[in-house]
Copies of this chain bind each other. A is one copy, B any other.
Amino acid sequence: MKQRVTIADVAKKAGVSATTVSRILNGNYSQTSAETTARVLEAIRELDYRPNALAKGLKQMKTQVIGVILSNLQNPFWLRVLKGIEDTCRKAGYQLMICNSCDDPAIEAEHIKNLQTRNVDGIIVNPTPGNRDLFEQLLATGYPCVFVNRHLPNLAMPGVVMNNIRGASLAVEHLLEGGRQRIAIIAYQGEITTWTERVEGYKTTLLAHGKREQDLLIELVPNRPGAARSAAIRLLKRNPRPDALLSTTNLMTLEILDAIQSLGLRIPEDVALVGYDETMWCKYLNPPLTTVRQPAYEMGEIAAKRIIQLCKGTRRTKLDVTVLEPELVVRESSRPASATPDVGATIAAGTGTSG
C-alpha cells in the first residue's frame, strides 16, 4: 500500500526539491525565500501532507515516543500515574506506548526489547526484580530509562518513588494513638520495594513504640486474587483477635473488607482498617475508609519530565531518585472504638526530593 502523499509530491507541486520542503517542515526558513516558503506551505496545505513518522524516525533514530511499562493497569493507582505521564508527554510532543507487564519478568523483558526495537526514545518502567541484568545493561548503554514507584536496590537508575516506610509509619502511629493494641499488616511476598518498605515501616514504628518482635503480626501472601482475603480471615480468627488491620494495596483492601464482612465483624468497633492508596471510592465505602494517600499524578509527572530530559540531553544527565511523601486521610474505618467520629482530617507529611 502506497502512502497517499509524500514529500516528493509536495516538492513537485511546489516546483522545488524535497530537501527544500523538508527544511521548511522543520522550521528551517533561513535558507529559503519568502515566496518559496509560501508556495511550499500552500502545497502542503492543499495536499494535506503529513510527513511519514516512520521514515523520519529511521533517519533520525528518534521517534518522539516514550515506552511505559506498568505492572498492573487494572489498579486505579496506575491510572493516576499514567495521567501524569500522559499530560506531561503530550505537552512536550511525545506519544506513549503503554505496556502491561503483569509483574511477570518474562513479559517485561519482551516489552523492553520490543520497545527498543521500535526505537522509542526512552522507557518509564515499574520494574520487576527479575530483570536486573537487563536494567543494568540499559544503564550501561545509556539508554534513557526511568524507574517509577519501585526501585531495585543498589541499581543507580534515576526514578521517582514514594516514601513507603513513612506511609506505613503514619498509619501505624495513627492506630496506636487511637488506642489499638494488636495491629496486623498484610502484604505481598516478594522483593518488591513498595511491599517490603511498607512492612519495614510497620515494623520499625511498632518497635519504636515499645512493642516486641513477637507482638508483630505480619502476614505475607502471594500476589494472587483471594490470597489476601484468606490471610485476613486467618488473622481475624486468632485469639486474641487483632484490633486493627493495615492493608498495603488498593485491591487488597477490598479483599480484606470482604473477609471482615464475611466474618460478621464491625469496622471500626471490632477491628479498625487502614487502606493503602486513596481512590475515588474510599470515601463511600462502608464505613468510609482511612487510607494513605499517595501523590500518584505528581509521580507520573516527575517521571515523564525526567525521561524527556534524558531523551533530549545529549550528554548523560545527572542520575537521581526523587522521593515523594504520602499523607494519611483519616476517616471512620480507623476511629477509636469508643470515640466520636473524626472524619475528614488529614495528617500531611510534606514533600521533598532526596538523592
Which residues of A line the B interface, CB within 8 A? 1-4, 50-55, 57-58, 61, 63, 65, 73-74, 76, 79-80, 82-83, 86, 95-100, 113-114, 116-119, 141, 251, 254, 257-258, 279-281, 283-288
Contact = CB atoms under 8 A, between A and B. Distances in A.
A152 to B, nearest CB: 22
A74 B51 CA distance: 32
Contacts of A98: 96, 98
A119 B254 contact: no
Given A76-B79, A95-B118, A279-B281, 17 more contacts: A2-B61, A4-B141, A51-B117, A52-B58, A52-B117, A54-B58, A54-B63, A54-B119, A65-B118, A74-B83, A95-B114, A96-B98, A251-B280, A254-B284, A258-B284, A281-B281, A281-B284
Given A50-B113, A113-B50, A251-B280, A287 B286 contact: yes
A98 B98 CA distance: 7
A229 to B, nearest CB: 13
16 contacts: A2-B61, A50-B117, A54-B57, A54-B63, A73-B79, A74-B79, A76-B76, A95-B99, A95-B118, A251-B280, A254-B280, A279-B281, A281-B284, A284-B286, A285-B285, A285-B286
A63 B119 CA distance: 12
Contacts of A284: 254, 257-258, 281, 285-286
Contacts of A251: 280
A113 B51 CA distance: 11
A280 B72 CA distance: 15
A59 to B, nearest CB: 9
Smallest CB-CB A-B distances: 9 pairs: A286-B286, A281-B281, A53-B118, A54-B58, A54-B57, A53-B117, A98-B98, A50-B117, A257-B284
A280 B58 CA distance: 44
A283 B255 CA distance: 11
A74 B82 CA distance: 9
Nearest to A76: B76
B118 A54 contact: yes
Contacts of A54: 54, 57-58, 63, 118-119
